[in-house]
Amino acid sequence: MKKVKVATVWLDGCSGCHMSLLDIDAAVIALAGKIDIVYGPLVDAQEFPEGVDVTLVEGAVSSLEDAHRIDLIRQRTNILIALGDCAVTGNVPAMRNKVPVAKLLQRVYVEGADTGKVIPTDGVPALNRHARPLQEFVKVDIHVPGCPPPAKAILGLLGDLLEGRKPAANPKVKFG
Ligand code: SF4
């Protein structure tokens, strides 16, 4: 049987949603027989590939680089899943939205630092004015709230998709 190509992506998030994905523990063995993880922090792929069946995206869109990445991911993905509150609503990254970016960076890297009072620019993507949820940039097929979503919810979702079922809304998964 042809394996389902799955990618995971980490935009502006804390990695907690990926940790929850790893929390599916032993169930990962059964999943491994049905899916190929073709891109993400869990594998060593440099470029997002073409023809991905399912992509789970953690985190908000906070920079131009994030916006370009999510555009490319959308073009190359059949089913795009916003995984976790940051991807669904902006959540933690969006808490900065009321503070102008220059003021925020000054406060964190200069006023708030004991040493090396420099705002980093080398290799660091410039922040957009606001951190925004995925749906403001691309069409999202499935939203999975939670901070992070419980492992069981992620497993249930993947199980539904692998069996060709439309994922049912899980009443036990909630924001926060
Ligand atoms: S939803 Fe929560 S756990 Fe997931 S990336 Fe955002 S802050 Fe981290």
Sequence ranges of the domains in the chain? 4-96+128-162
Residue 106 three-state SS: helix
pLDDT band at 30 (very low <50, low <70, confident <90, very high): confident
Share of the chain above pLDDT 90, in %: 81
Instruction: Give the residue with greater pLDDT, 1 vs 105.
Output: 105
* Average pLDDT estimate for 2-28: 93
pTM confidence score: 0.93
**Nearest alpha carbon to residue 65 among 123, 7, 116:** 123
What CA–CA distances, in Å, run from 125 to 37, 49, 66, 120?
26, 22, 9, 10
* Average pLDDT estimate for 86-101: 97
CATH number of the structural domain 4-96+128-162: 3.40.50.700
**Residue 171 pLDDT:** 61
Query: Is the beta carbon of 17 within 6 A of some atom in ligand 1?
Result: yes
Query: Is the beta carbon of 149 within 6 A of some atom in ligand 1?
Result: no
Burial of 82 (0-12, 13-18, 19+ CB in 10 A): buried
Q: Write the residue with the smallest CA distance to atom 6 of ligand 1.
A: 86
Residues comprising the chain, all counted: 176
Please give the DSSP secondary-structure letter assigned to residue 12: B
The per-residue pLDDT for range 101-118, each reduced to its tens digit, is: 999 999 999 999 999 999
**Residue 31 pLDDT:** 85
**Mean pLDDT, all residues of the chain:** 93
**Rounded to the nearest whole angstrom, what is the distance from the C-alpha of residue 76 to the centroid of ligand 1?**
24
